[in-house]
Chain A
Amino acid sequence: MLAFLSSQPVQTALIVGTCAALVSALIGVFTVLRGNAFAGHALADVSSAGGAASFLLGISPLLGFLGMAWIAAFGMEFLGVRKARERDLATGVVLGAGLGLSALFLYLDVTTTSTTGATVSVMFGSLFAISRGLIWPAILAVLAVFSLVGVFYRPLILTAVDPDLATLRGVSPRWMGLLQLLVLGLAVAVCALAIGAVLATALLIGPAGAAIRLSRRPGQAIVWAMLFALAAVWVGIWMAYESYYWFSGNAWPVSFFVVVLIFVFYVLAMLGSAQHRKLRRGAATALPGLQES
């Protein structure tokens, strides 16, 4: 355990991973409540083009992910699809264009800058290979997200749960939508840096999806989501570190472990809540006086 904690790549991985877990849990609850799982996923996928471009431009990958996530977010908003029927299609088309761009940038990365590992690290992440210089930007992004959500917590929740009621209460849906996209972009960038752009979805919707099954109250759900996300990231990093010894020198990727753990948590939460509901219903039929609250 000591060797594990004193290794520098592991320390960096733990810090960046913790950042990703915290923001994704917070933003994930809003995303899942609003039924925006596909949009969140599309945003993460498209941000890969930014990650790929950052190698070409020689800028920080975090900036690359963030820039592209914001462009895509505002692009989707700008396409201005109000009808739910067309929203999925427009999202899909933006997604296709973004991934096409990412194909081009990754190809140019390999041919012009000879960074052969770019495809893997942008798409699937390489948490143990993140440079230490990215720790502070990642922490800053987390602080920005937490303070923005902290200030606008109530209107954000209200817009996510019941947009009509929020409008009645004088909350501007346009500003809240914009704010939501802004923080979603930040969260996507940190997650993409940690476990890769196409796997970032796991952190963004998995812990939140599991948490919402366990608690209907947003505040509680956020706490549950953070617990799930932190457990998945920390245990995942530890397992990936140890897997070097388990498979005689062939370490398995960190992102793989994180994704599998999140999936297991989600399935467990689903089974747990189904069981719970069944028990409650059983109790209600056995004691007719006892009604479900």
Chain B
Amino acid sequence: MNWGDYRKAMDALPFSPDFQERTEKLLRLSAQNEAEKEPFAMKKKLFHKIAAAAAVLALLTASAYAAVKLLSPSQVAEFAQQPLLAEAFRSEDALVLNETVESGGYRMTLAGLVSGAVLDSWDQDVDRSRTYAVAALERLDGQPLDQQSVSLSDFILTPLVAGYTPWSVNNWTLDAAVCGIAQDGVFYFLLDVQTLEMFADHTVYLAFYEGGVPSREIFVMNGDGSIQFAGDFAGPHALFTLPLDAGKADPAAVEAFIADSGFDLDWFTGSTSQSEEPSFTGQGDGELAEAPSVELEEIPSGET
């Protein structure tokens, strides 16, 4: 037996000869129905937005606002077709944060976080730990955000670690992937990154901002290792501190991470002139000069 037999068996499967024709008809009919429903759906949505906006702005705290108005992290994971991750976000191990910052005309919310073994249903046998985070982006003027209005290349959600330069420990060096989901005018970011718990004996941040790769123009690392946005950084931005359990820190893993990077320790700690950030040419696959690229993926929304 060989794979040629497998291909022959596949080729012999009795699919309907008119499958494509039937399917095209079905899809056209469905598209027509969707188009006819749209005006009513738009009106209904607008009504809800006005009512909801008035209620939440008047009555709710930021945390309660996020809980009421936004999708939960587990719902975002479900939209991203990651049922195991959705379950993890519902577990006791997940951190529900719902911290909100308003900046540059946007409301930026860090909704939740979970760390642990790989939770992507396709990745169960991969021997590595990951951290997953969900953040939400909304416009303060109420204009809805959709897949066209937000680019994953322009809005960055990246971890940073106190004591390590922002250009050395971030999405690009931590094997991160980010997907975006637009739902009801809110744009959600689902970050999947190498575990952040190994850094838990340091202050670990999630920076959310409109800009490019972390650089000296965007961030400042203070003498005590703490990180903040540069004073003249004008774009929408928020810096969240993650409440990680310091007991889960793994200095040996951090050491291995630095050793595997191929860069000098000075580049990570910023202790000498060698700590200059590498020259990046942009963001996305193959666009970084010296560091691994981050994977960006846009996930469709509206699935149930």
Do A and B originate from a single complex?
A: no
Tell me the B residues contacting A by CB distance below 8 Å: none
Tell me the A residues contacting B by CB distance below 8 Å: none
